[in-house]
Chain A
Amino acid sequence: MGKSNKLQYLNKGVVSNEVEVLKKMFEYAPVYVCLLEGPDHRLKYMNKIFRQLYGGVDLPEGTPAEKILSEFKGAGEKEINERMQLLDSIYNSGEAFIANEFQSFFGYRGENESEEAFFNLICQPMKDEKEETYGLFITGYEVTEHVRARQEKAYSKERLTLAIEGADIGFWETDLKRGELDYTNEQCKVHFGYSPGDEFTRDDFYNAIHPEDRPAVKEKAQDAMENAGNFKVEYRVQHSDGSLRWILARGQTLTDSDGQPYRFIGITLDITESKEAEKKLKEAVRIRDDFLAIASHELQTPITSVRTLSELLELKLKKDGEQEYAGQAAKINKGINQLSKFIANLLDFSRIQEGKLQLEKSDLILNDLIKDTVESIQPISDHDVIIEAVDNISVHVDEFRIGQVITNLVNNAIKYSPESEKIIVRAKEKEDQVIVSVVDFGIGVSEHERETIFQRFYKGNQPHKKTYPGFGIGLFISSQIVQQHGGDIWVEDNNGKGSEFKFSLPKND
């Protein structure tokens, strides 16, 4: 028995049992069901979700359609008339009305204001044995989310197109089954030296790439396509006018539901300007570093003779009893000493920048190195530098460089603890490492400075406290030296009484 026949019986009350069964079926069905009777479309039956469209009110059987429609929030006179005309025309023509994504602006769903909704629906005239229409059977389901998602996708695509064109991004798509570029936007062609509208194939793409870069691009693209991976490569493109452009290409392989790659899509960007800027910057840095290295090395020679002669002058003046002049010469010497330390630091700094700080390692007893270093500092300092070292720790290090680190830490400790009298240097074994620490009782290092203090050009500067002149690269150089030895350098608080600078070195086996 066909559906419409069944409904005829339902309408005429022939099989009341079956009607109840069908009503129950419809009542909780996830589709909208409504039966209207007569030329003025009076309500015969409406299922639960249909009622919910206008708030779930149970309208009595026989309610005319015009009244039903007026129950919908947001249904004005115009909308009601339109719908009534539609129902009339279906009823009168006897032709089923089928609509996909039928738009309705009727307000529904509780208290909500009028909301746009879409339905796929069928309005089927019900006919008696004389083929005369006596009612309408309306069924449908909502497709609002589906329509919205499709619209959103279209908007996204539009936005993407706008973004791609606005940013001069080239766009390409490759069909992996045919192995052919099947879409490139105009900008992409321009990137490869072609004009918009030109034909542009996969071969044209590879041929435009500089021969030196081509194998790498092919290899990376192949890898991304086969392994469903990402693709990022920079290469040069030779245009027909002879100019060379730098292109950055990124791509991604799309896979089907079985995980099989089927499309390879991506973008191209012309990065020539940034490449050139990068090159110029590198060149400028190289020139600066070269200059720094040459200048500081060249300065060493005159400083040597000036330092020696001015120190001699001071000694001779003292010997001759010329105390006033000797004092002035001493001031000159102090300046020259600062200058020569500064130049030595500059030279080390440029060596580090150029990666030329080479270590000349040898096996030695760390305690001896600490002792020698402290002995060279002690005569020129008022502080008492105390060594608390464990005997015979053997290390494989660059004697000069590690001596330099210890000197730097001890000198800093002296410099930043003018009110105290002692500095402690310790060396302790800890597992497979040796920890050297320099303890002072000075102004200390605040917590937020403990990380930055080892960065280049950092200089301690605390308000209300006396600050000291100095080019803050000593700690940076020390940290580089320690790191090159496979160790680490850090600073701790000396129980609120100063600071404790520590560095670790791998112990000799």
Chain B
Amino acid sequence: MTSQPLRRDPEGPDGTSLGPEALARAEALVAVFRERYPELAAKSLAQLNACWGAFLAEGENLARSARREELYRLAHDYKGIGGSYGYPMVSAIGEALCRLLRPEATLDAAGAGEIGRLISALNLIISERLSGDGGERGRLLMAGL
């Protein structure tokens, strides 16, 4: 049935039967990825900033703008990926952006202003490498949003 013999590992924690060594290896890897996240996120952050900048320059109504879909897609990526890379604040901001940008949401000038503040906060979190809860700086930032 299998081409290779299967090695037996001890029972692992939290309902998985993989050994603690395998899980520790994976957790260590995520820590490495956490360090690299700001560099890895640079491309999509530039796309988000460019899309938002173009919208502001055009002075369009965001509710009807074709850029809304693109902004939503990028925000959704942040929502899913940030936390997976150890940046839960990025996920929280991505989720808030998705709520504002979802197709059925009514989007007015106040909402557009909120989107701008959230995007600025996202830039700050990534440029200052505020992983986890971001410490005191992160807590203050999130409290202010």
Chains A and B form a bound pair? no
A interface residue numbers (CB < 8 A to B): none
B interface residue numbers (CB < 8 A to A): none
